């Protein structure tokens, strides 16, 4: 059964102004493939917003996806784990909507940088994850002073002082589960080095998780959110073909 709901506009998933997503559907008459939930990056800084993901969202809508561009609390007003809780709440709202409106197809999280971190940490709430140059090891991000000291600025403490916080925020330190995941990363990325994704991939292989890593010789960090860049056609193809006609239901947030 195809939904007849408008499936467009701003959907709040919490009381804070930042706790919302922008829901947009493909062209009228298009049978939706499913929902692509976009999670932006910006190294936890509040001045960088979900608008970063709109070019990818437009590309996904052209391919028949309903898009949900997620905003979340971050920066000084949204300390950890607020971004994680918000992403989980947004995905939970989308799962509930898909059941309520009988929306066909999978729910796929598409996250860039810190958005990739959040998509990986909430993978159990989606049918699949596309992680674009994701932050996978926050301790390493701190130690390598990446993003102009982003981890020290946001967390306000060191891994030595708060090891449990840094571990909980790092996808590489968490059980990866069974959600199909595609990581796309440029070898020349100097904001999140490729070695982070390679280490994550090694962990995934050791756990038997269905994670694939595709590397590109020339794909800068911000190019990863450019739909005209070399990686994106492959991402769209994976999303179109990675799931069967009746994808499994994502686990509930409490699971």
Q: Where are the domains of the chain?
A: 9-241
With a cut of 60, say whether residue 254 has pLDDT above it: no
Least confident segment among 32-46, 75-89, 114-128, 238-252: 238-252
Do the bridges between strand 211-216 and strand 128-132 make them parallel or antiparallel, or are there none, so unpaired? unpaired
Mean of pLDDT values over 176-189: 97
* pLDDT band (50, 70, 90) for residue 6: low
- Return the residue matching tokens 């910006």: 42
More confident of the two residues 39 and 27: 39
Give the global pTM.
Answer: 0.94
Do the bridges between strand 20-24 and strand 35-39 make them parallel or antiparallel, or are there none, so unpaired? unpaired
CA separation, residue 31 to residues 19, 27, 36 (Å)? 28, 9, 14
pLDDT of residue 2: 40
* pLDDT band (50, 70, 90) for residue 30: confident
Four-CA torsion 226, 151, 92, 199, nearest 10 degrees: 70
Q: What is the CA radius of gyration of the chain?
A: 17
Which DSSP letter does residue 73 get? -
More confident of the two residues 7 and 43: 43
Instruction: Return all residues near 113 (Cβ < 8 A) that are at least 6 apart.
Output: 41, 42, 43, 132, 133, 134, 135, 191, 192, 221, 224
With a cut of 60, say whether residue 190 has pLDDT above it: yes
33 close to 240: Cβ distance less than 8 angstroms: yes
pLDDT of residue 4: 41
Percent of all residues in the chain with a pLDDT value above 90, rounded to a whole number: 88
pLDDT of residue 8: 81
Do the bridges between strand 181-186 and strand 211-216 make them parallel or antiparallel, or are there none, so unpaired? parallel
**CATH second-level architecture of 9-241?**
3-Layer(aba) Sandwich (3.40)
pLDDT of residue 210: 97
* pLDDT band (50, 70, 90) for residue 29: confident
* Mean pLDDT, the chain, whole residue set: 94
Q: Highest-confidence range of 3-12, 28-37, 188-197, by mean pLDDT?
A: 188-197
Instruction: Return all residues near 92 (Cβ < 8 A) that are at least 6 apart.
Output: 13, 125, 252, 253
- On the 0-12 / 13-18 / 19+ scale of CB atoms within 10 A, 172 is buried
Cis peptide before 81 (omega within 30 of 0): yes
Instruction: Return all residues near 22 (Cβ < 8 A) that are at least 6 apart.
Output: 9, 10, 11, 50, 67, 68, 69, 71
């Amino acid at each position: 059964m195809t939904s007849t709901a408008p499936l467009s506009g701003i959907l709040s998933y919490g009381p804070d102004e930042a706790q919302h997503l922008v829901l947009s559907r493909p062209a009228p008459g298009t049978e939706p493939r499913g929902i692509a939930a976009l999670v932006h990056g910006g190294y936890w800084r509040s001045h960088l917003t979900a608008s970063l993901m709109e070019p990818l969202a437009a590309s996904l809508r052209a391919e028949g996806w309903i898009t949900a561009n997620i905003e979340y609390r971050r920066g000084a007003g949204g300390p950890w784990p607020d971004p994680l809780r918000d992403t989980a709440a947004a995905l939970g709202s989308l799962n509930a909507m898909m059941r309520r409106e009988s929306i066909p197809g999978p729910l796929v999280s598409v996250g860039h940088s810190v958005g990739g971190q959040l998509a990986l940490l909430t993978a159990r709430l989606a049918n699949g994850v596309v992680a674009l140059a994701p932050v996978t090891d926050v301790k390493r991000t701190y130690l390598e002073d990446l993003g102009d000291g982003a981890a020290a600025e946001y967390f306000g403490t060191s891994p030595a002082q708060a090891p449990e916080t840094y571990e909980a925020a790092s996808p590489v330190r968490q059980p990866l589960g069974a959600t199909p995941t595609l990581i796309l990363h440029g070898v020349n990325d100097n904001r999140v080095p490729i070695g982070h994704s390679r280490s994550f991939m090694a962990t995934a292989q050791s756990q038997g998780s269905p994670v694939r890593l595709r590397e590109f010789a020339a794909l800068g960090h911000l190019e990863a959110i450019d739909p005209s860049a070399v990686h994106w056609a492959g991402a769209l193809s994976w999303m179109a073909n990675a799931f069967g006609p009746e994808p499994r239901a994502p686990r509930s947030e409490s699971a």
